Structure 1
Amino acid sequence: MPQNPERRTALLDAAIEVLAREGSRGLTLRAIDKEAAVPIGTATNYFANRDELLAQVMRRTRERLAPDPEALAATMTPAPSHELVAELMRQLLARMRADRASNLAMLELRLEATRRPALRTELSSFLTAELQDNV
């Protein structure tokens, strides 16, 4: 069955909400289906196993937490200064407040990565990319 990219995104967004609210133990395919308001069994068609689900949730979380490139470029126009660092921190805090669920989900994913080697690898790649994008 062909997969719908919009539905996959909706399922991943639902997974982020469940993960933020219920923690890793509450993140089940059935809970994702319920949160996304889709028929039971839908998430099973999109995620082969838990490791794949967690890796895709991490990628979607990164997308949701990424700064707006245009706003970031405008902020970076002046020469580096204490004011620039303060503004970047204000923007980071604003993004964190705007998407609390993604931040809580990322904390849960970091804990889960301590027990899952595949997720640990994904997290390492994620953090390396974040560092390269932001330095």
Structure 2
Amino acid sequence: MAKLQVLIAMTLNGSVPARNDSLLQWIQNSDDGFPCWRDRYTRMLYPGYPLVDLICDKEQSAPSDIYLAEIYDDSSAELLRGLSLYHLIDEMVIFLLPIISSETVPVSKHISTDKWELVRTKTFRNGICRLTYRKTLQ
């Protein structure tokens, strides 16, 4: 079975960052941000991806296959909601921005209530913290 990773850009108050925020631009373009994972995935998931197809594909895929979703705006937050609803996420990489957002699109409420283990952290000079969590066996 394939592994599903989500990369999440989230502010301190659990929302998506503003689209024009310079820290979000850094996450999307820096080699320490989302691009770090882009060369490792087998399939990129996008907003509107058919989740029933994903469930079937994930179960039939090789264990070395990695499905990747980038969460940073309102439409991708909806993808996160669906992935969490079906408990499909195996690993989360949260980029926590040191800002409070006025955006009303919540991200944190869409993270599944599975049991998570913090496996890696890194703090960057711009104040962003990268937190890597893996789902633990229940």
**TM-score with structure 1 setting the length:** 0.26
Larger radius of gyration: 1
Would you tell me which structure has more helix in proportion to its own residues?
1
User: Taking CA–CA contacts closer than 8 Å with sequence separation of 6 or more, which of the two structures ends up with the larger relative contact order?
Assistant: 2
Alignment TM-score, normalising by the size of structure 2: 0.26
